[in-house]
Structure 1
Amino acid sequence: MRRPAFYSRSPRVPQQDAVEPGTSADESPALAAVPSARPAWQPGRRSFGLLLALVVGLGATGAYLWPRQAGPALTQKDIDAAVLRTLQTNVLPSQAARAADIIRPSVVRVVGYGTEKNTPEAKTEKRGRNLAKGKPPETTDEVPGKEVERGVGTGVVIVDKGIILTNLHVVAGAETIKVTFADGFEAPATITALQPENDLAVLQAQKLPDDLIPATMRSTADLMPGDQVAAVGFPFGIGPSVSAGVVSGLNRSFRSPEGKQELGNLIQFDAAANPGNSGGPLINMSGEVLGIVTAILNPTQQRTFIGIAFAVPIENAASAAGSPPF
């Protein structure tokens, strides 16, 4: 598209071709506004100006064409030495540290409130939370008519509208749910979808912080045993905490200690996970979510980590929130 012509707004000054007879130039107002005539051309001045311009031009051309002294060429040995010197003099963050820094703004603490439960699992989690807070393990906060923490877990924001993935067992039976974002902002949340076969729940935060960064999800199609991963969450309410390890196996099955439910197609990993990590993201070294941490294998009733944990692949988790498949 052509730009329209731009016209100056300065008023034009009318010009007169001749002075009326009997009127001098000093008495004519029209001619007073006309600039005085240019002086006659003087050959000496113009010749000097052309000569000066020629000298300046030749000088600039000579400076440009003057051969320059080239610096020493860098060899591969020089480059390798510079890189090695940088590695020796600068402490670089680990891959897990960089990955955790990427995912941290998307990780939330999830707390379910309600009447205190008396199951062995609830008591174990309660003792762990008390120890993490520096309290005696058997301390109870139960007060008649007052809501208490029934469960503490983790969630990960996958949509900037406040849609959060977590485990169903973290919020099951809770009368109210509260999430705490990375910047400390707290908000109530409601359950909007469930996927019991994968122990997944989708939450919607009722209020949002100013800057909410959703996590990036990554397909597990090319995931292999031995790949490095990290688990980010709130074990026993402490966090956000980061533990690193590798994928131990794929397509695993897990049956809950009570034998009520069996989960399949799970990612097995050895990064440390404990009660409170449930619902948190399992990430790769690029900070992308591969799965949702959901269970630990333990032959005892202590529910502490012995080296085997499981995560629901993100493909299943995202489908619970209605996201399209990868």
Structure 2
Amino acid sequence: MQDQTNLAIAALKFFSPIEYEKNCEITGHAPTPGRTEPLDGSKLLTYLEKTGALFEPRRYQVRIAELLSRLERAGLLIPFGQGNDLFLGKKYYFLKEFTTLEKKGLLWLSEALGPQFVRSQYASITVQITGETEAGDVHAGTGLAIAPNCILTCAHVIRDMTVYDTQQFGGQSYQVIDVLPHESIDVGLVKVEPTLQVLPSLAFRDPCLADQLYTLGYPRVPLARSAPLVMQSGEVTSPEVTLLHGPEVFLYSAIARPGNSGGPIISASGHVLGIVTEELTAESARLSLPFHAGIKASTINSVVGEIDESIILPIEDYE
């Protein structure tokens, strides 16, 4: 995954108009005087070889062509004509304008590099919160690190159990210093120390109808020795549903199981759309299929501000 990421960044740098003259010099291509011309994929192979970004790049022409196609479909590369090479002859420009949050990291590559990339970015900040119920049973939910000492989760996760004073995240021990569930909305915060790893370009936005998405969490897996981080894919099926009691939620088609609650719901573009909340099931319909619901980003933003004014949720405003 790291190799794909590095290669994608190198390709985008190569097709950037700002780098045109420098890249012509590297590849031995004569620049057009007074103009910036789009370069093609065949010259990218020379660039990768000359810069040492990839050893023997011509061995990987098929995969490089596939990567360029994915970057194009994601809107990161804009096609500008065809060169002489039949296989890697398409010419491109990289013209993306970054938002303030996008500039802080690489999540803007999510749509091009896919779910494996999304998982690699979010795995370190998606944690399992463990505790014990009144009956003495071990219980668990999922949380998302949103600040150096703060984990976002569902209120019912930290209400339904006594959270253990010591938590294990990524092989490191953390001490719980406060547990803060909201009184009426299913959002809560867990404060820990020492500081957590955070994702610099983490950004929240509200869901839109048919958004492709992924859920990440730690559902109970029968017979598993330890809880694995599980990813499910789906789409937003309804961006707004008003419940009889409580805030608006949104519905999605990805499967969520016990233990997923509090985990992030992430769009294909890398944004957090919300967190997994309790499923919606009619009590009288034993065999009915439940609706999977999420607390949306704007609701989380308001609630987090009520719980702790010092926590600023990073909302994507496209500025």
Give the TM-score of the pair, scaled to structure 1: 0.54
Counterpart-to-counterpart distance in 2, 1:107 and 1:304: 32
Residue 141 of structure 2 contacts residue 260 of structure 2 at CA under 8 Å; is this kept in 1? yes
1:224 aligns with 2:208: yes
Extract unaligned runs of 5+ from structure 1.
Answer: 1-67, 85-91, 117-146, 256-261
What amino acid is the match of 1:103?
A: Y
1:109 aligns with 2:95: no
Counterpart-to-counterpart distance in 1, 2:192 and 2:276: 20
Counterpart-to-counterpart distance in 2, 1:83 and 1:304: 56
Match of 1:155 among 133, 137, 143: 143
Q: Secondary structure at the match of 1:171?
A: helix
Counterpart-to-counterpart distance in 2, 1:157 and 1:246: 23
CA apart distance, 1:320: 2.9
Q: Which structure has the greater CA radius of gyration?
A: 1
- Counterparts of 1:28-67 in structure 2, within 5 Å, are none
CA apart distance, 1:188: 3.2
Counterpart-to-counterpart distance in 2, 1:163 and 1:304: 38
Aligned to 1:185: 172
CA apart distance, 1:113: 2.1
Residue 205 of structure 2 contacts residue 297 of structure 2 at CA under 8 Å; is this kept in 1? yes
Residue 80 to residue 285, structure 1, CA distance change in 2 (3 Å)? farther
Counterpart-to-counterpart distance in 2, 1:163 and 1:69: 52
Counterpart-to-counterpart distance in 2, 1:305 and 1:284: 27
Extract unaligned runs of 5+ from structure 2.
Answer: 1-27, 31-38, 41-80, 91-110, 222-226, 306-310
Residue 103 of structure 1 contacts residue 287 of structure 1 at CA under 8 Å; is this kept in 2? no
Aligned to 1:98: 117
Match of 1:233 among 202, 214, 217: 217
Counterpart-to-counterpart distance in 2, 1:271 and 1:313: 15
C-alpha offsets along residues 221-255 of structure 1, whole Å, 9 cap, x if unaligned? xx321110110001116321100110000111346
Aligned to 2:151: 164
Residue 83 of structure 2 contacts residue 89 of structure 2 at CA under 8 Å; is this kept in 1? no
Counterpart-to-counterpart distance in 1, 2:128 and 2:146: 14
Aligned to 1:37: none
Counterpart-to-counterpart distance in 1, 2:256 and 2:163: 25
Counterpart-to-counterpart distance in 2, 1:167 and 1:312: 9
What amino acid is the match of 1:112?
A: G
Residue 168 of structure 1 contacts residue 199 of structure 1 at CA under 8 Å; is this kept in 2? yes
Residue 186 to residue 305, structure 1, CA distance change in 2 (3 Å)? farther
Counterpart-to-counterpart distance in 1, 2:117 and 2:271: 11
CA apart distance, 1:77: 5.4
1:265 aligns with 2:248: yes
Counterpart-to-counterpart distance in 1, 2:29 and 2:175: 69
CA apart distance, 1:302: 11
Q: How many residues align?
A: 209
Give the TM-score of the pair, scaled to structure 2: 0.56
Q: Secondary structure at the match of 2:156?
A: helix
Residue 193 of structure 1 contacts residue 320 of structure 1 at CA under 8 Å; is this kept in 2? no
CA apart distance, 1:200: 1.1
C-alpha offsets along residues 38-63 of structure 1, whole Å, 9 cap, x if unaligned? xxxxxxxxxxxxxxxxxxxxxxxxxx
